[in-house]
């Protein structure tokens, strides 16, 4: 049986989690890149990663943060 919501549907809890985690993750990763074009690409990639994780059913902010940082850093930051 499929999801009750179409792909791309994000409930309020998921949207709040994305919003909170995006800021934290961005602060951690953005300082590592000076080039604005590369920063823009990274920001898009981070958002895409968060949305992919939400689509997989992960909406716990700590899990989202760790999975995203691990994806981009190869390690999680405290």
Residue 1 has pLDDT above 50, yes or no: no
pLDDT score for 8: 63
Render pLDDT for 27-76 as a digit per residue (tens, 0 to 9): 888 887 889 899 999 999 999 999 999 999 998 999 999 999 999 886 54
pTM score, whole prediction? 0.78
Contact in structure between 38 and 55 (CB atoms under 8 Å): no
**How far apart are alpha carbons 5 and 72 in whole angstroms?**
29
Cα angle for residues 73, 53, 11 (degrees, 5° grid): 140
pLDDT score for 52: 94
């Amino acid at each position: 049986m499929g999801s009750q919501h179409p792909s791309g549907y994000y409930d309020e809890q998921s949207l709040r989690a994305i919003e909170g985690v995006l800021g934290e993750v961005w602060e951690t990763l953005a300082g590592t890149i000076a080039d604005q074009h590369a920063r823009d690409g990274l920001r898009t990639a981070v958002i895409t990663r968060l949305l992919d994780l939400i689509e997989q059913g992960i909406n716990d902010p700590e899990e989202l943060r760790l999975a995203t940082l691990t994806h981009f850093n190869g390690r999680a930051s405290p």
